[in-house]
Amino acid sequence: MKVFHEFPPVYDKKSKILILGSIPSVTSREQGFYYMHPQNRFWKVLESLFQESIKDKKAFCLEKGIALWDVCASCDIKASSDSSIKNVVPNDLSVILNTANITQIFTTGKKAHSLYQKYLYPIYKKEDICLSSTSPANAKNSLEDLVKEYHVILEYI
């Protein structure tokens, strides 16, 4: 099924890091925001890293200097299965990179990383750091493991 990324990136001129997923999950597309599946651990990881409760996700990201978006502007995908992604049209990162001084790009999961390397690295020449997916499909990593791995983002903000 052809899916289009229908909600905007989160960023402003104070954003220092950019975290890219592949494409929003079915639940995230329905709710119009990033990492919204109830079992996705992205927001729990950030709460643990910053030791605070996140009530307004967008305001939290902007306050902490975190930009969020996805590699794909559109693609063919079955439900929320990253492994099924085909026919990718990448997002134009220049809207963020020309506004904010992004010091580091992070990708969440191997698929986001491989898509970034294929479609966006050749254009922007900015290396990404691949972090483990926080998706419920990635059950091999505990929340504690993810928090330890994501700790690296604090070095850049």
**Domain range spanning residue 99?**
2-156
% of the chain exceeding 90 in pLDDT: 90
pLDDT in tens, 5-22: 999 999 999 999 999 999
Q: What is the domain-level CATH number for residue 41?
A: 3.40.470.10
Average pLDDT in the 115-134 region? 97
77-80 long-range contacts, Cβ below 8 Å, gap at least 24? 77/1, 77/3, 77/23, 78/1, 79/26, 80/25, 80/26, 80/27, 80/37, 80/135, 80/137
Mean pLDDT of 78-91: 90
* Per-residue confidence (pLDDT) for residue 138, from 0 to 100: 77
> Nearest 5°: CA angle at 22, between 50 and 12?
50
- Count the domains in the chain: 1
Q: Give residue 142's pLDDT.
A: 93
